[in-house]
Structure formats: structure tokens, C-alpha cells
Chains A and B, each alone.
Chain A
Amino acid sequence: MLGGLQPRQLLTQLLNFALVLSTAFMLWKGLSVATDSPSPIVVVLSGSMEPAFQRGDLLFLWNRGQDTQVGEIVVYNVKGKDIPIVHRVVRRYGGGDEPLQLLTKGDNNLADDTELYARGQDYLTRSTDIIGSVIGYVPFVGYVTILLSEHPWLKTVLLGLMGVMVVLQRE
């Protein structure tokens, strides 16, 4: 099928495929720029915020306006760990001239998050640790990504299928 194509046709087909991937990526980056968050959409991975959020819920984050209040649900990254955690702010220190510091706790957890933080860390620094406050969510649709991360080979299959389809299809 690809063998009979002229070079320009081949380049055009490849371009279609590359544009699908790059547009998806740049839309994501555009959303990052707009929300000022490195990861503006996250999936809830644990049940620690039940009943507010279930495993698999998709959360939309907003990271502009750094004056986070008690009761807000934030997503943070612990230094040295890659997994973002979604928990509620239960206490705040500083603010104003001093850097704002926060203590968080999962609604469904018995204790606050001090145990989860990095060694020697008793609180989160708003400006560096937090990647956004939750401003909206869609239940369950993020479950696909949980499946994908628990079964990494699914990713390869999915990406391969996409590639083959776009290259072979001329619609």
C-alpha cells in the first residue's frame, strides 16, 4: 500500500499522522500554559478522598491565584515521588509576605499527610509543591488511564493501532 505512493504523497500521509500526535500534545501544553500547571488534568488513583472523589475520577486543576484556603482540594507532588496526590487543605501557615505553607489530609484517611511528605518535611510549600487546586471533575472517565498505567503494554498497542490507522487511511 505505501510502496506505490509518490514521495510527496508519503510525506503528506506521514504529516497527517504527525499532526494528530503533535496537536494533541500542544493542546495539552496550551492547557498547561492557561492554567499555569504542569499537569492540568489528573486522575484520582486512590480512594483516600472518598466520598468526594472515587478512583478513576478526572480532575481539572487551576494553578493561578496562589492564596489557597483551608477546605480547598489541592494536588501536590512529593519531592522524589512521581505520583500526584489529591487531598484537602486542613491548615495553613504564613501567607502574605511569608511563603504560604499548607497541611493536607485525605477525607477518608484517619491522620493528616505528614507521613506522606518527604523525610523531614512537615508541610507543603504552596509555590513549589502544589500543582493546582481542583476546580472541576468528571467521574470515572479517567479509569482508562488507570488501566493503561497498570498494564503498560496496552499503551504500546493503542499507539501502534493509531499509527497504522492514520497512515493507511485516506479519508
Chain B
Amino acid sequence: MAATKIAVYSISDLKNTTDDALPNYLTSLKFKQSHFLTDVRLALGYSAVVIAAITFYADYKLGWDKTKYWTFWAVLVYFTLNGALTFWIWGVEKGKVFAGQIDHPKVGRKSPLSIASSVAKHTPIYNITVEYSNSKGETKTLKLSSPFTRWFDVNGFFVAKPFQQWLALEIPLIGQVDPKNKDDGAKSAASANGESEVDGPVEDEKYDTPKKSTSSDAAPTSTRSRRGKRG
């Protein structure tokens, strides 16, 4: 992904950029992404749009009196599809930004993984809900949070390493697939804890390797309750 600069005070920029980085990282680890959720959303949405387009064209060509009867049904079907789409986005997708699976490196079984993300209004903290199956094949759910400062530098550039380390460290399935990032993540977390007394503003010259977390980074690893999905 090309490094694009974002406005660091825009929560939706932070979230969208991070959301985009997630599948990039996971597919690079040979996770096979499933587009089922998006495809259903697109199918529902575009069917509705096509119905509206046909209604528009028929109305334009034939006028109201001739199309009255079919317009009734078109309106009914349109809003039914629209309702189904809304339900799909809020009730089924629930903010999922990645769904996929991987041939588990140790167990030799396919392990599914899905990640839903959310942010609370005006709070620069990235919340994810992870569902994955562990080495025994049981489905586990994890709720994780981290401030965006962990992987965005002061200039608004996304830094991939600390983000990947965070995921590899906190999510066992990713840690097993990507042990290097897991170990590096563990190291930087340990050093951050050791130096937690010396915190302060991040100096400019360090922004390209911000693995030294400030204490504010280390604190909110605790889970937070999720709010409604945005975006």
C-alpha cells in the first residue's frame, strides 16, 4: 500500500487507513481472504439501484399513468432490498474488515479468522474484535484495543511494523503464522515497560521507527466495550 499521509486528528482517516492495512498484512501472511460479506452487500445494493434505474427509465419514457401499477411493486421491492442491505451491514457484517482462513502451519487444518473494527466517537483508539479458531479447532473471541499512535507517526504516515507486531503479539493465530513479528512485538513491549518512567512527546527523529511506545501506548491494552460500527 502506498504510504499516504493522513490528518492525524481525523479519527475516520485513522480508522480507514488501518482498516485497509489489515487485509494487506494478513494476505501477505498467506491468509486467504473471503469476500463473501462484501459480495452479498454489493449484490443487494446494486439490485436495488438497478430497480430504481429501471423505474426511472420507465417513468421517463411512459409517464405516470402507464407505470403506476409497477411503480408500486418497484418501490416495495426497492425498500425491501434496502432494508436487507441495512440489516446485512449492521447485523451481519458488524464492521468486519477481514474474513478469511489459513492452512494452519502446525495443525494442518484450515483455521478461520475474522476481524471487526470500530472506533468510539472522538476517541483515537482502535478497537477490534477477533474471531479465530485455535490449534484445537475451538472458536475464540478476542477484544483488543490500541491507540492509533502505536502505528501512526506524528506526520500522519502509517508505519506497518508496530501494527503487525501488535497483531502478531496479541492474536495467537497470527503469532503462530508470523513468529518474527510476534517476538519483535514482545521485545518492544518489554522495553516499553522498562522505560515507562521516561515518557514524553515522541521526538521527530524517531518517527520512522516508533517501536518505543510511550506509556500511554502500553496502558490501554485493556479491552473496551464496542460502540456501533461507523463507515
B16 touches A170 (CB 8 A): yes
Whether a CB of chain A sits under 8 angstroms from the CB of B223 is no
A30 touches B38 (CB 8 A): no
B75 touches A170 (CB 8 A): no
Whether a CB of chain B sits under 8 angstroms from the CB of A171 is yes
Whether a CB of chain A sits under 8 angstroms from the CB of B231 is yes
A19 touches B45 (CB 8 A): yes
Shortest beta-carbon distance from B130 to chain A in Å: 22
Main secondary structure of the interface of A (DSSP, over half): helix
Q: Pick from B46, B48, B75 the residue with the most CB of A within 10 Å.
A: B75
Residues in B with CB closer than 8 Å to A25 are 52, 55-56
Known A12-B38, A23-B82; contact A38-B16, beta-carbon cutoff 8 A: no
Q: Tell me, in angstroms, the Cα distance from A11 to B56 when the chains sit together.
A: 21
Interface residues on chain B, number (Cβ under 8 Å): 32
B231 touches A171 (CB 8 A): yes
Q: Tell me, in angstroms, the Cα distance from A19 to B74 when the chains sit together.
A: 15
Residues in B with CB closer than 8 Å to A55 are none
Whether a CB of chain B sits under 8 angstroms from the CB of A141 is no
Known A4-B2, A170-B12, A171-B12; contact A22-B49, beta-carbon cutoff 8 A: yes
Residues in B with CB closer than 8 Å to A36 are 68
Q: Tell me, in angstroms, the Cα distance from A36 to B42 when the chains sit together.
A: 32
Query: Within residues 144 to 171 of chain A, which ones have a CB less than 8 A from any CB in chain B?
Result: 170-171
B71 touches A8 (CB 8 A): no
Q: List 23 A-B contacts (CB under 8 A).
A: A4-B2, A8-B35, A8-B38, A11-B46, A19-B82, A22-B48, A22-B78, A26-B52, A26-B74, A26-B75, A26-B79, A29-B55, A29-B74, A29-B75, A30-B75, A33-B68, A33-B71, A33-B72, A36-B68, A38-B63, A38-B64, A170-B231, A171-B230
